[in-house]
Chain A
Amino acid sequence: MEAFKVIIVEDVKLELKGTEQIFRTEIPEAEVIGTAQNEAEVWKLFRAAEPDLLLLDLGLGGSTTIGVEICRQVRTRYPQCRVLIFTGEILNERLWVEVLKAGAAGIILKTGELLTRDDVMLVMKGRQLVFNQPILEKIVARFKKSVISESMRRDAIISYDIDEYDERFLRHLALGYTKDMIAQLKGMPFGTKSLEKRQVDLINRLFTENERTGVNATRLAVRALQLHILDIDNLKPDEE
């Protein structure tokens, strides 16, 4: 691999030392052309020489999220320079999204194996979305959760025996329609009376025996949401 230039932005000196050591021992082709401890120094270094890779910590000094802003500006002013985030912000997931939006090629959390040669190389090869193990675990966990909730919906429809009309009835209840209004919907073959019967029937299906007392339409709709029978992100009325 060809040699490339790196700027490290890290406000804690001791950590900077460790990071530099990693570069020195494991990624010899990287030439560290400068290190910065605050925002002003970053721009000074950039004015002197443009690097191929910027290893960026998100918090600098008193400003705890300034990395996002630096990343955004680097990516607009120096589009050739790749930005890899190297951060200890393990809790603030919102920041990860922000920084990816700002154009970072990847995020390495300062835990586990820290920075490895492979991660840096992937970034230098132009790969996007480079993450180290700890952050990947978090991302996958999130992913799993959403997939499970998706499949739960399918399961729920089967296990609670929900047909198309049930689903539409519940969805419109959740949207605040009255039974009269639902009976007026296009393609709804039921009158108010039989909708009421259907509601009782649904309550019997969705609630266990000792939960049933006092359940009204609102509670029923909420239950449907809880059981993932309704998709809260897709709660729209039928097209008229």
Chain B
Amino acid sequence: MHYKWCFPALLLFSLFVGCQPYKRQIEKEFIDSLNRRAYHYRYIDIDSVEALANKALTLSNDYVEGRAEALNALAFHAYQQMDFDRVDSILSLIREERPGSLLLLCADVMEMKTCQRIGEGERFFRVKNHAEDLMQEIAGCEDRLSDHEVPLWVYAQSEFYIITATYYFYQEQDSVARVELERVLPCMKLYVDTAQWVYYNYMLGPGGLVEGRNVTDITLQEFDYLFRAYSVSRREGYRYFEANCLQAFATMLLANDSLIATERSDAYHLLRFQHTDWLEGEATLPLALARHALALFKAYDDLFQTACTYRTIGEIYFELGHYEQSLMNYESALTCVNRHHLRYYGDFSPDTLSVFDSVHLGRSVEKEWIADPRILTVPDWISGIRQQLSLTYSALGMKQASDYNRNSYLELLQATNQNLELESRTEVLEKQTRSLRGRMYLCVILLAIAILLAFLFRQRLKHSADTLFRELKDNLWPPYKDFRMWNERVQSGLKEEQEEQMESLQIVQRRLTGDKRKNVENRAKVSLVHGIIPFLDRISGEIVRMKKQGKVEPERKEYIIELVDEIERHNDILTEWITMEQGQLNLHISTFPIKTLFQIVGQGHYAFDQKSITLNIEDTEALVKADESLTLFMINTLADNARKFTPPGGSITISSEEVDDYVEIKVSDTGCGLSEEDVNILMNNKVYDATKIGTGKEGKGFGFGLMNCRGIIEKYKKTSSLFACCAFGVRSRLGEGSTFYFRLPRVLQMLILFILMPFGGQATAHKSALYDSVYHANLDGRYADAVSYAHEYFLELNRTHPSLPPIVLEEPQMYQRELAEIRWAQNAIPEDYNALVDLRNEVALAALALNDWNLYRYNNRACVRLHRYLHQDKTLPIYFRKLQQTHRNGNILLVLILLVSVIILFFSYKLLVSGQVEKKRKIEALRNYLQHLFEVARQRPAEHDFRLQTADYPEMRKCAMDYQSQVVDESVRPINQLQTVLMQIEDELAKLDYEQNRLYIQNQVLDNCLSTIKHESMYYPSRIRLLAEKMQDEDINQLSELVQYYRHIYTLLCRQADTQISQPGFKRHQVTVGDVLTCAADVIQSLLKRAQVSAQPEFVERIGRDVMLVADESILGMLFESLLTGMMHERLQLTLLAEDDGDFVRFTLRDTSVEFSDEVLDSLFFPQTGHISYLVAKQILREHDTYSNHPGCRLVAQQAEGGGYEIFFTLLKIREIKK
């Protein structure tokens, strides 16, 4: 009974089956139309895109292309929602579908878009390369594209160029971006895609990608592009672009309101008219436009652009000076960022950004985001907001918040550098492959020719063998010439080095002489100081005698007063002497790492091992600005002290700590420690008796070490305010060990990079000083100073390269996008660009603090651009690896062909040219041997090590031997000699350096001792005098005590100076009489010249010039200078006489033109006369006397026999060495 249904059912079924292909076609078209609509809604309504794409997706069961297209639309939706993970997963779904090239290209373009936004440069270029291949493929069959595919193709191409341009634009490579954009319009020759056309116009709008005559021209052109995009998107309902354009208008009008209003008044007024509703209240046009844009973006539901618009509004408020409102808007922008973050990553990363986190100052949430591979965010987005926040806070005067945001901004920039510029490299790669292919063809052709030429080759071989041998015999062989050139170069290099070393030797020598002179002078001062003690003893003697008598004797009292007066006179001379030198700055300040000093101290660990004390030295990277020698001296002193007071088994730790603007260098021990009282004495008393400090008395010094350290720190402080942070102190507890520390100004690490890259000597030093100044000025809050220092820095920099465009502090034309420093870097001018980046940053900071926004913007921009430029190319190795791979593949082929060729050639060889080959082989062997000889000689062997065997080549032996001896004579020996001399000079240099250093420290310490003596004992004499003047019988004891105390203090202080001068500064030399006379003549000449006296000195020699004397040559000149300075006058009639005087040689300086009484002459060498130079002369003679080990040197001033007066001194002759 159901059969009646059977027929129609059968009929329907057959119809269904028959219609199937047709139905599928309809379905496909339906899906295509859905996709087209989804595409159309992209910039109009993002939700419709999703709905339509989903519909298409569900319908397109096995229609791969349709699915892929729908997925693409969904990816776009996810992209606009900033769900980058989803974009990735959708794109991989598309690729799994294996659609045609066109949709793959669309997927690639989408991926590029994503990469561009999240700042993954490397991936961007990888995808871009792939996309380019696809584009090439599709372009080949462009005419076969279906009607549905053509718009897709246009879209993919234009989007590709726009995205690429966007990428370059954000990388500050405007010219490249411009080229990419210019390719967009030609893509649309088949079909005009309105949205893409709008996109293109919008890109040219605010981008600064337009070229023009001047700024005005550019701005107007940009406005036109933007307006075109705006009106079309308004017409077509592209909300997204309309909002974007409005935002761009807002920014543009902010700066160029009047320009646009006059030059493009129609458009301007149209805009105004369209936004009448938005212009309520006090809102300006830009603000109205931006608010409209905000509303549109919100409606379109684009979080990214919403945040950007908030930022724009914030900027507008900032310009208007409404900083609070501007801050609020930035906060909203940041909230958008946070909302995006929490939406996608909130489950595992709940922390969000805040405008200013005063609690976690050091923490940077955005940095954590970027470091986390699971989180995909848009760094540019955040960095822009941060920069604006830093500006706003600065304007509000909240420095800490401003700094916080600026730091975040800089860190973000750091994190998003462009990694790769693979594009140009791909081209190179292609070119390489092509040329490889070409070479292969060439090889095959050459092989054929080679076989033909084999016969001819025989002739040539014979000829060439003869030529080669002739060449060898006549020394015309190129390697030999090369070798000789090398040899010459090396020798002249060594000579140059030798000269340089000699020069530094002279410099050190000069410094040494200077220090030696200073040393002698200091010793003379110590002698002067000692000269007081006999007077003190005399006073004591008188007091003892009065005590015995039990009464005051007026005669003795008077004598005591006379003695005290004498002491005071001595003190006055000392004071005068010391103050005379105070103006001279004699610290050698430099910037150096503490590490090297620690290493030097560490080398002396043996002394600690001996006492079974562990010496720990902590590694440090700290840099300080101080006197290097003195710092080493201080560390050594403290370490030695610690060693003395630490029992065996203990440990000593030397370490440093960087705090704020100083570095604290610490020496801690596990010794017995000090009581509070002792610490007080150590730190506060200028003079103390070290034997009274601490518990045990064993191994005690006098405490001079610590006094010296304290003195050095005091000296730093007096030198400059830069050293205000210097300090010296001790932290100690009885029984728990002590920590002695001192502080030196800290220098930041990045500075040293700059200092360590010297090019240009003086200028560099000056620049680095300026740089330091900028840095320190900023540190101290003197921002205006910092800017002016930076200005000077640029002037200095420009002075070194006058031909280049000058680097400036600020440029009025922000649109001149080519920065001078980038031009410099492009031209490979050797400068330290990293320092320049830092400097720009410092200036930006200063400008921020000064609220000078234009200066800030320019320098910030310069800083960022230069930084980006410098960090562009870091993936060269990857590129090379790729290049090598291609190369290798090509090479294997090439090698195979070559191999075959070689085999063929070999046979033709064997048949045709074997006889000649043998001959040539021998010559080759000889040449190889000689090559080897040169190689070995180039290693600069010692002469006796330079032996090469020639026995292997008996036939060529003569030639080889000739070469060998030539190499030895011309190169090995002279280079050896030069190296030996150089080494000797270097050793001498090291020795002098060491001595100079020692003397330098001795002088510094002596300076300290002397000024302490001066300060600490000055007022006693006057007290003694006061007491003595009104002394009664019962006061004798009081006076006695005072004098005793004075003497005690005085001798204690003197002892410190004595320990210093117990190390001799005197150097025994053998000097001839002739040397002394030459030296004297030099000094006389220069003194006469200086005093402008035209006297003709007479030299009388009554002893051979070659008689040898014991003397220190380096201070002889000073001796003559000291003596002659006082003798200079206009009518000078000087005679220098050298004569025999027993064991000595007497040198007499006689002036017959002036008479002096015996009294004057007798007292010439006493301090009372106030002739400091004579005291120095006396000291020099005393040194000679002491260290020549034979007392009896004289220094006498007396009346000359024939009238006038004379000063003579004697120097010890060197007797024949007794055998």
Contacts and interface: CB of A to CB of B under 8 A. Distances in A.
Contacts of B533: 88, 90, 111
A234 interface: no
A65 B1185 contact: yes
A14 B1058 CA distance: 26
B1193 A65 contact: yes
A25 B541 CA distance: 13
A64 B1182 contact: yes
Interface residues of A, number: 35
A92 B1195 CA distance: 19
B1064 to A, nearest CB: 14
A61 B1165 contact: yes
A192 to B, nearest CB: 31
A109 B693 CA distance: 32
Nearest to B565: A14
A40 interface: yes
B211 interface: no
B136 to A, nearest CB: 77
A15 interface: yes
B566 A63 contact: no
Given A11-B1162, A38-B1198, A110-B537, A64 B1178 contact: yes
B559 A61 contact: no
30 contacts: A12-B1166, A14-B538, A15-B534, A15-B538, A18-B541, A18-B559, A25-B545, A38-B1196, A40-B1198, A61-B1196, A62-B1164, A62-B1174, A62-B1178, A62-B1196, A63-B1181, A63-B1193, A63-B1195, A64-B1182, A64-B1193, A66-B1192, A68-B1192, A69-B1191, A88-B533, A88-B534, A88-B537, A110-B537, A111-B533, A111-B540, A112-B540, A113-B541
B1177 A114 contact: no
Given A61-B1197, A62-B1209, 20 more contacts: A13-B1163, A18-B541, A21-B555, A22-B541, A37-B1162, A61-B1165, A61-B1166, A61-B1196, A62-B1165, A62-B1178, A62-B1196, A64-B1178, A69-B1192, A95-B1191, A111-B533, A111-B534, A111-B540, A112-B540, A112-B541, A113-B541
B562 interface: yes
Interface in B450-489: none
A111 B1164 CA distance: 25
Contacts of A37: 1162
B603 to A, nearest CB: 19
Nearest to A14: B566
Contact of A14 (B535, B1164, B1174): B535
Contacts of A95: 1191
Contacts of B1162: 11, 37-38, 61
A146 B541 CA distance: 32
A35 B361 CA distance: 85
Contacts of A113: 541, 544
Interface string A28-53: 00000000011110000000000000
Interface in A160-195: none
A62 B1191 contact: no
A62 B1177 contact: yes
Nearest to A72: B1192
A69 B538 CA distance: 26
Interface string A111-134: 111100000000000000000000
Interface of B: 533-535, 537-538, 540-542, 544-545, 555-556, 559, 562-563, 566, 612, 1058, 1162-1166, 1174, 1177-1178, 1181-1182, 1185-1186, 1191-1198, 1209
Nearest to A25: B545
A25 B544 CA distance: 14
A87 to B, nearest CB: 9
Contacts of B545: 25
B1196 A64 contact: no
Interface string A65-77: 1101100000000
A197 interface: no
Contacts of A114: 537-538, 541
B799 to A, nearest CB: 54
A137 interface: no
Contacts of B537: 88, 110-112, 114
B61 to A, nearest CB: 88
B41 to A, nearest CB: 89
Interface of A: 11-15, 17-18, 21-22, 25, 37-40, 61-66, 68-69, 88, 90-92, 94-95, 98, 110-114, 210
A38 B1163 CA distance: 10
Given A64-B1178, A113-B544, A39 B1196 contact: yes
B344 to A, nearest CB: 67
A58 to B, nearest CB: 9
Nearest to A13: B1163
A66 B1193 CA distance: 7
Contacts of A15: 534-535, 538
A98 B1166 contact: no
B563 A14 contact: yes
Contacts of A64: 1178, 1181-1182, 1185, 1193
CB-based closest 7 A-B pairs:
A62-B1195, A65-B1191, A62-B1165, A114-B541, A63-B1194, A88-B534, A111-B537
Contacts of A11: 1162, 1166
A114 to B, nearest CB: 4
A18 B1191 contact: no
Contacts of B559: 17-18, 21
B1174 A98 contact: no
Contacts of B1194: 39, 62-63, 66
Contacts of A25: 545
Nearest to B648: A210
Contacts of B612: 210
A168 to B, nearest CB: 29
A99 to B, nearest CB: 9
Contacts of A18: 538, 541-542, 559, 563
A63 B1193 CA distance: 6
A18 B564 CA distance: 13
Contacts of A68: 1191-1192
Contacts of A66: 1192, 1194
A110 B538 CA distance: 8
Q: Pick the most buried of B534, B1197, B1209: most chain A CB atoms within 10 A of its CB.
A: B534
Contacts of B1178: 62, 64
A111 B1162 CA distance: 24
Nearest to A62: B1195
A39 B77 CA distance: 114
A60 to B, nearest CB: 8
A14 B562 contact: yes
